Amino acid sequence: MYATIIAALSGVAMAFQGAVNAAASSAISLSVATFIVMAAGTVVSAVYMTLSGTTGNLALRNLAKAPWWAYTGGLVGPAITAAVAHAIERAGAVNATTGIILGQLGFAAVIDHLGWFGAEPIRFSPIKIAGIILIAVGGRILLAK
């Protein structure tokens, strides 16, 4: 339950971030807004790492513990930030977030089912498939004009 609450709160934060990034994008351009967001995130992450005492984990011997692909998530960060700001600016927060959630849910289901990226496989079941279909139908209803 705790993890679900944290996930829901991160969803609130993502909606906030997308909306303010869209406003920044409108004012100063998508690329500059994305750069500022990523730079601010780097600073906040460095402060958090320092305060939590985990800077020693940057040692090469520690970094080598994870597979190379585990570090590729940061490469898509700017693209995600820019895409979300662009989508919210053009389609509105609800429509953009609906598309985001449907995309996340679909790919997350594949990741779980196939056990990609070190995830423990969680096989599809008829009830999970029905849940995904219901969420997709709800998404379609939200996107209707």
Block residue for tokens 């609906």: 98
Mean pLDDT value of segment 30-57: 93
CA angle at 139 for the pair 134 and 142, rounded to the nearest 5°: 130
pTM for this predicted structure: 0.82
**Positive or negative: CA dihedral 132, 138, 143, 144:** positive
pLDDT mean across residues, the chain: 92
Distance, CA of 62 to CA of 54 (rounded, Å): 11
Greatest CA span in the chain, whole angstroms? 54
Distance, CA of 19 to CA of 27 (rounded, Å): 13
Distance, CA of 111 to CA of 49 (rounded, Å): 28
Structure token digits, residue 50: 């320092």
pLDDT tens-place string over residues 136-145: 999 899 888 7
Could you tell me the pLDDT band of residue 6, with boundaries at 50, 70 and 90? very high
- pLDDT at 20 (0 to 100): 96
User: What residue segments make up the domains of the chain, in order of their start?
Assistant: 1-91, 92-145
Distance, CA of 38 to CA of 75 (rounded, Å): 11
pLDDT tens-place string over residues 79-105: 999 999 999 999 999 999 999 999 999
Could you tell me the pLDDT band of residue 63, with boundaries at 50, 70 and 90? confident
Given a cut of 90, whether residue 110 has pLDDT beyond it is yes
Given a cut of 80, whether residue 125 has pLDDT beyond it is yes
CA angle at 144 for the pair 138 and 145, rounded to the nearest 5°: 150
Mean pLDDT value of segment 69-84: 93
Phi and psi torsions of 64, nearest 5°: -75, -10
Nearest to 85 by CA among 30, 137, 7: 30
Contact 11, 19 (CB under 8 A): no
